[in-house]
Amino acid sequence: HTQASPLPHLSRKATLQRLLSTLAILEQREGKLNHSSLAAVTAAQRMGGTIHGLLAGSNVKPVADEAAKVDGLEKILYVENSDYDKGLPENWAPMLVENVKKGGYTHVFAGHSAFGKNLLPRVAALMDVQQVSDITRIDSEDTFTRPIYAGNAVLTVQSSDTPKIVTVRGTAFPSGAAEGGSASVEEGVDPKAPCPTEWVSENLAKSDRPELGTATRVVSGGRGLKSKEEFDRLIPALADALGAAVGASRAAVDSGFADNSLQVGQTGKNVAPQLYLCAGISGAIQHLAGMKDSKVIACINKDADAPIFQVADVGLVGDLFETVPELTEKLGSQ
Ligand code: FAD
């Protein structure tokens, strides 16, 4: 009796998108938003609907004003309270729950960083819903793709929960534009929940090189380097010749050749640079899990049967103690 819509599927989709609303948790350090939370905003944009951002800590209003320019955000909620400075999940989680309830959000997105991984499962537990972790693709508003078994299988997760609490893999989505948006800025709810955990201190590894997680080039060393002295002599020099970040295998970290913060892999960092160059790394699946999405993979290994050659675009069979200094010298003289 009424005229049928010519594109019923599309109009249904449009209606659905109007009902979608995501709260994106904006992680920042010294006023700078980190890549993984901006990737979470991009993921939310791909899903559609309205997107609000949330920031908390001391002096966050100026950061909120800056975040208002991020393309795709309609509103920034900020909670001014130094209790949130250190990102302790014990007081962040109840604060987030209050803001999610007040805003009636259908989705909550955060980067799959140490902070996001620590925080969102607690939020999910408090709201009695299931957490969806480390997604690499948005299939629809309730269906997401994520790697499992160290990236050896891909799982499609469909969630019927509301809200959907989701962490987003930073290397799977671009950062999005930091300019072009004009979100409104509003104060969020602060329940001032007591925090049973006390922040004591932090030890940050400082480096002049690019940050491992977001670098466009990474040079990694493994157990084949034999000692910390050789690792320190060969790998940073090659990294500097390429303007690259330094990475390491777990065997290199466990042997004390490199700092824990440099570990790439299943239990380390996920990287997806334009170039991943590694020397003395065999290519165990747990290592591949952290770097196999790199655009170009190059390796140096003296064993032609090492599994790393199966994923490498460019491979050099040779002794790294000869080939790495040679390569560094040739790159340096260019
Ligand atoms: P090896 O496997 O010992 O390889 C050394 C390589 O160096 C060999 O291929 C050898 O041919 C080559 N080599 C030796 N000398 C030379 C030379 N002179 N010139 C050239 N090549 C040479 N590993 C990770 O890296 N990241 C992780 O996050 C991670 N998480 C894990 C989680 C779990 C639950 C488990 C069980 C394991 C995990 N591992 C991880 C460990 C992983 O299984 C491997 O043990 C590790 O990656 C091996 O490191 P490697 O390649 O440096 O050492």
CB atoms within 10 A of CB 249: 31
CB of 301 closer than 6 angstroms to any ligand 1 atom: yes
Dist. CA 176–CA 194, nearest whole Å: 35
Backbone angle region of 92, left / alpha / beta, with phi > 0 → left and psi within -120 to 50 → alpha: alpha
Q: What's residue 9's pLDDT?
A: 54
Backbone angles phi, psi at 125, to 5 degrees: -65, -45
pLDDT digit string, tens, across residues 220-247: 999 999 999 999 999 999 999 999 999 9
Contact 47, 138 (CB under 8 A): yes
**pLDDT at residue 177, as a whole number:** 78
CB atoms within 10 A of CB 3: 5
From atom 53 of ligand 1, which residue's Cα is the shortest distance away?
A: 223
Is residue 10 over pLDDT 90? no
Spacing, Cα 251 to ligand 1 middle (Å): 5
Task: Confirm if 314 and 294 have CB atoms less than 8 A apart.
Answer: no
Segment 114-135 shows an average pLDDT of 97
Q: What atom of ligand 1 comes closest to residue 283's alpha carbon?
A: 51
Q: Inform me whether the pLDDT recorded for 105 exceeds 80.
A: yes
| ipTM rounded to 2 decimals | 0.99
Q: Which residue has the tokens 């209050």?
A: 98
d(CA 76, CA 185): 5
Q: 244: annotated binding-site residue? A: no
Rounded percentage of the chain residues whose pLDDT exceeds 70: 94
Residue 280 labelled as part of a binding site: yes
H or E stretch including 218?
strand 217-221
Question: Tokens 């290397």 — which residue?
Answer: 171
Q: Convert the pLDDT of each residue in 287-332 to its tens digit.
A: 999 999 999 999 999 999 999 999 999 999 999 999 999 999 999 8
Query: What average pLDDT does this structure show over 82-96?
Result: 96
Contact by Cβ (8 Å): 249, 264: yes
Q: Are residues 282 and 317 in contact, defined by beta-carbon separation less than 8 angstroms?
A: no
Whether the bond into 163 is cis, omega within 30 of 0: yes
Whole-number Å distance, alpha carbon 283 to ligand 1 midpoint, is: 6
What are the C-alpha distances in Å from 41 to residues 13, 124, 166, 214? Answer: 20, 19, 12, 17
CA 172 – ligand 1 centroid, Å: 25
Judge whether 284 is annotated as a binding position: yes
pLDDT at 5: 44
**Is position 274 annotated in a ligand binding site?**
no
328 Cβ closer than 6 Å to some ligand 1 atom: no
Give the integer Cα–Cα distance in Å for 292 and 272: 7
- Average pLDDT of the segment spanning 207-215: 89
For residue 326, the CA-to-ligand 1 centroid distance in Å is: 23
266 lines ligand 1 (CB under 6 A): yes
Q: What confidence tier does 3 reach under pLDDT thresholds 50, 70, 90?
A: very low
CB neighbours of residue 315 within 10 Å: 17
Rounded to 5 degrees, φ, ψ at 16 are -60, -45
302 lines ligand 1 (CB under 6 A): yes
Averaged pLDDT, 28-38: 90
Q: Are 142 and 16 in contact (CB under 8 A)?
A: no
Q: Report how far residue 184's alpha carbon sits from residue 175's, in angstroms, rounded to the nearest whole number.
A: 21
The structure's pTM equals 0.83
Of 250, 319, 323, best ligand 1 pocket probe by most atoms within 8 Å of the beta carbon? 250
Of 143, 94, 133, 91, the closest CA to residue 110 belongs to 133
Q: Region 11-19: what's the mean pLDDT?
A: 69
